Amino acid sequence: MMAVMASFVSISAPPVIYRNRNRCRSPHHGITHTIQFKGAAVILPVKCSGPTENADSEAEESYRPSWSLSAYKWYAGLGALGFIETGYLTYLKFTNSDAFCPVSGGSCSDILNSDYSYVFGVPLPLIGMVAYGLVASVGLHLSGKSLLSGLGETDGRLILLGSSTSMAAASAYFLYLLSTKFAGASCSYCLMSAVLSFSLFFLTLKEFGLQEIQKMVGLQLVIASAVIAALSTSYSTQATQTVSTRSAEIDLQPFTIEIKTESSPLAISLAKHLHSIGAKMYGAFWCSHCLEQKEMFGREAAKMLDYVECFPGGYRRGTKIDKACADAGIEGFPTWVINGQVLSGEQEFSELAASSGFVLKDFNPS
């Protein structure tokens, strides 16, 4: 009779089930379901499938914050974009080809081929390709592709934290170099890589959350400091080696170049005036701008100038500037010193006349 009533209830009306809050502690520790049917209570025993604890406390204990699947897909996508970009630049490095720079033109290639494109002798794009490839691989693995055997989510998240932090620190350092060492130049590939690196970094901050980041901030500072210190050491070492190599290769003996232009009456008069007031022109025999300044005066007038050669014995590694030039504080060529006034670079006749008191409008060629 009870079985018939239970069957009728299941067909004619949805039962109201009341569950005990305490779940079974063993497979044989049952709980009961109470079914109300027309005032009568039907008690049905139910077996548990396995050992469990209190439902509420178990849910609280077993809950652990986990990153969303879409976050790992973002890591994979951004990492793949960076891998493609740096892979292209690495190919250009190894084939000694120029990059296609539609926005910034030649300055882009100058930056990509500069001394700053290597870190301890390793092409910078190759390092970036490895870093982006690591991020993409871990992102794909944690999104369910299982590319890296034995890598758990906890270790994978730490790898993403370290990679994104180091890449963001490196990008910040490179943006500093771009604004100081290459002022006025632009590099679309450099800017794209910086955007990808900072995007990965901010994605990491978002997914870890404020509380976890506060625990990890010390590790992040150590990673960022190590990256910047390594880059600074590499570039300072490379700069020293470059200067030493270039200096060792230079060994110039003194030479003279014949001035071909003829002197105009104005040039001769101005040269005489400059000589009469003790104006001096400081230069170097290898300086093209010094030669152009003399060509402006012409053969006859150039011989009248008080010209001071700052490297009379030639130029090679370790050669010091002549004492007369050092005492005058000469730093570039040509340099004019007229009535105590210092004029750097090539000067027009009007500028030399104004500094020396020579009046051009009163000039009489006769």
Residue ranges per domain, the chain? Answer: 2-62, 69-249, 265-356
CA angle 181, 161, 168 (to 5 degrees): 15
Helix (H) or strand (E) holding 68, with range, is: none
User: What pLDDT score does 278 carry?
Assistant: 95
Please state, in angstroms and rounded to a whole number, the distance separating the CA atoms of residues 344 and 213: 55
Residues of the chain with pLDDT under 50: 1-35, 37-38, 42-44, 46-65, 244-245, 247
Q: Nearest to residue 83, comparing CAs of 116, 125, 111? A: 125
Asked if the 69-249 domain carries CATH number 3.30.70.20, the reply is no
User: What pLDDT score does 222 carry?
Assistant: 94
| φ and ψ of 346, to 5 deg | -60, 140
Do you know the residue count of the chain?
366
User: What pLDDT score does 362 carry?
Assistant: 61
Count of CB atoms within 10 A of residue 118's CB?
Answer: 17
Non-local CB neighbours of 132 within 8 Å, separated by 6+ positions: 79, 80, 81, 82, 83, 85, 86, 196
Evaluate whether 69-249 and 265-356 have a shared fold.
no
User: What pLDDT score does 363 carry?
Assistant: 63
- Mind listing the pLDDT tens digit for each residue in 209-233? 888 888 888 999 999 999 999 999 9
Q: What residue spans of the chain are helical by DSSP H?
A: 2-12, 55-62, 69-95, 106-112, 124-140, 153-180, 188-249, 265-276, 288-297, 299-304, 323-327, 349-356
Instruction: Report the CATH fold assignment for 265-356.
Output: Glutaredoxin (3.40.30)
Our measurement of the distance from residue 358's CA atom to the centroid of its chain's CA atoms, rounded to an integer in Å, reads: 53
Q: Nearest to residue 274, comparing CAs of 354, 339, 356, 359? A: 356
Which tokens belong to 189?
């590939």
User: What pLDDT score does 334 carry?
Assistant: 94
User: What pLDDT score does 106 carry?
Assistant: 53
Count of CB atoms within 10 A of residue 93's CB?
Answer: 18
User: What pLDDT score does 22 carry?
Assistant: 38
Using only C-alpha atoms, the chain has a radius of gyration, in whole angstroms, of 40
